[in-house]
Amino acid sequence: MQLRKRFIIGILISLVFLYLAVRKVDFEDLWMAIKNANYWWTVPNMILMVFSTWMRAYRWKFMVNPIKRLKVYPLFTSTMIGFMANNVLPARLGEFVRAYSLGEKAEISKSAAFATIVVERVFDGFSLLFILWITLLFSHFPDWVKRAGNITLILNIALLFTLIFLEVKTEPTLRFFKGVFKFLPSTVSTKASEILYKFTTGLKVFRDWSSILWILVWSLLIWAVIGISNCFIFFAFNLYPPLHASFILLIMVALAVMLPSSPGYIGTFQYACIIALGLFGISQSVAFSFSVVLWVSQFLPITSLGLYYLKKEHLSLKGAREERGKVID
């Protein structure tokens, strides 16, 4: 029932942002932009999106190595499956599906696998904030973006220190959370403590500073590749803004998809593109066309490959929706 409520809320939020994205669109201009676009430029965009997913898998290897040494391929397939699930399932279930997929084939704790994904998200957050600070040197952002960046920084720092204390000072930190869980029924409190203990087994990377350095480097490279991939969609629409426009677009979209929304981030994704492109004088009609092509270019290869690997691993989308609970094994 809770998942259904989150799904309905996400749909409503997506509808609001989709309305904001199309309310001032001139559909004749939109059609002309779609008609005249050169779709060959979407090919390098798709290739770079898949390559960035492989880069994510390679970076994930550094986080998983302290638990079990794995090759990149199983990490890549699980990443694809997780990203596909985020595209087609509500409430970001893809993160749980990704942990479940890796846990099953690598025979490791799914809670530990999920912990590494949380660590990954922390490094993603710091990388995007670093890119935001760099782009601020070249362009003016709306004040709400700066506020969102500051809030994200505070949350990221808080989460990072929590994860570090869970690994370095495990017992005292677990006792602290056990006290926090006291308001829950005893059976739920005990289960939550057990889950958190299993979760800590996926945080061993914080004891290896060389791995942390490599994760930081790879995180920046991943987001640089994704930012550069945006350039090709600009070329498709015969638009040639400065290079930092691609990274402004990257940051806007990254902030927008953090919001609750429908599967695939419909609405929030499109509106973020319109806001970003509007900073460079691009009309809402062209920007909306751009957002649709960019969304399809990112959605299509990831979802197709994710579904392929899902079938190859003998999982199903129906089953994938039920895997969230199994991540806490």
Quick one: pLDDT at residue 137? 78
Residues above pLDDT 70, as percent of the chain: 95
Place 143 in a pLDDT band, splitting at 50, 70 and 90: confident
Quick one: pLDDT at residue 47? 98
Mean pLDDT of the 237-262 span: 92
Give the residue with greater pLDDT, 136 vs 191.
Answer: 136
Q: Is the pLDDT of residue 213 over 80?
A: yes
Mean pLDDT check: name the lowest of 32-41, 96-105, 302-311. 96-105
pLDDT tens across 50-78, in order? Answer: 999 999 999 999 999 999 999 999 999 99
**Residues 84, 302: contact at Cβ < 8 Å?**
yes
Quick one: pLDDT at residue 78? 96
Q: Is the pLDDT of residue 148 over 60?
A: yes
- Reported pTM: 0.90
Mean pLDDT of the 155-165 span: 88
Q: Is the pLDDT of residue 38 over 60?
A: yes
User: How far is residue 66's CA from residue 190's CA, in Å, rounded to a whole number?
Assistant: 27
Mean pLDDT of the 308-317 span: 84
Mean pLDDT of the 165-173 span: 86
Domain residue ranges in the chain: 2-327
Residues above pLDDT 90, as percent of the chain: 57
Place 23 in a pLDDT band, splitting at 50, 70 and 90: very high
Quick one: pLDDT at residue 327? 60
